[in-house]
């Protein structure tokens, strides 16, 4: 195949034209380093290798860009990278970041769980769901929950005092408060117990 044109594109990409037709977008720096340019022949094997190198470089750059802004779990990082490259390249880049110590699922999970418990006041079940969705190992999730979960009834009473006390005087407000607590992941038994204790203490 003959490379008949190379045209610049956005985001560090170049459009590669083979035998007069557009073939694909390729990472510009990878293309420059390869030595392939307009007027040169390229075989299927060479093109395949060029694509793999391009994907790998783009995945690595995307990983570093994402990690500059905040921490990620390895799965979350791979998921985001895969939006701009192949899944294989994304997972390889995320794994490489973990090998370099730039991604640590345990540290990330402990930090996220603490934030979800404290700032968002999520229940243990809601925190569990969030961590599992990030790809955190289930055994690690259970360990973190065992070490950090506050008493659900006391946490609900704290929320009632801070946010919902004024809504409990009428039935509509009471239902809204219960629904909000359920969205945070709290079960009805704990909510009912907390409501009873809160109202009795208030009296």
- Could you tell me which of 185, 125, 126, 198 has the C-alpha nearest to residue 158? 198
Q: In terms of pLDDT, which residue wins out, 154 or 166?
A: 154
Asked whether the predicted pLDDT for residue 203 surpasses 80, the reply is: no
* Extents of the domains making up the chain: 3-99, 105-148, 152-202
**What's the CA gap between 56 and 92, in Å, rounded?**
8
Exposure string (b/e) for 125-139, b if CB count within 10 Å is 16 or more? ebbbebbeebbbeee
The per-residue pLDDT for range 68-104, each reduced to its tens digit, is 999 999 999 999 999 989 999 999 999 999 999 999 9
What confidence score (pLDDT) does residue 194 get?
92
What confidence score (pLDDT) does residue 31 get?
87
Confidence (pTM): 0.77
- Could you tell me which of 103, 98, 203, 198 has the C-alpha nearest to residue 156? 198
The mean pLDDT of the chain is: 91
SS3 203: coil
SS3 183: helix
CATH code: domain 3-99 is 1.10.10.10
Helix 138-148 with 124-133: angle, nearest 10 deg: 150
């Amino acid at each position: 195949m003959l490379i008949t044109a190379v045209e610049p594109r956005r985001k560090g990409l170049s459009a590669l034209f083979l035998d007069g037709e557009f073939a694909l977008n390729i990472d510009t720096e990878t293309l420059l380093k390869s030595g392939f340019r307009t007027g040169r022949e390229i075989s299927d094997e060479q093109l395949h290798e060029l694509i793999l190198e391009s994907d790998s470089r783009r995945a690595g750059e995307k990983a570093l860009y994402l990690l500059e802004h905040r921490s990620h779990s390895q799965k979350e990082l791979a998921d985001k990278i895969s939006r701009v490259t192949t899944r294989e390249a994304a997972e390889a880049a995320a794994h490489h970041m973990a090998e370099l110590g730039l991604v640590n699922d345990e540290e990330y999970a402990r930090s996220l769980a603490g934030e979800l418990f404290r700032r968002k006041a999520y229940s243990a079940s809601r925190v569990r769901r969030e961590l599992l969705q990030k790809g955190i190992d289930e055994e690690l999730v259970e360990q973190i929950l065992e070490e950090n979960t506050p008493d659900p009834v006391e946490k609900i009473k704290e929320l009632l005092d801070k946010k919902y006390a004024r809504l409990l005087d009428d039935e509509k407000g009471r239902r809204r408060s219960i629904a909000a607590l359920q969205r945070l992941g709290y079960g009805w038994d704990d909510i009912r117990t907390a409501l009873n204790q809160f109202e009795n203490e208030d009296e």
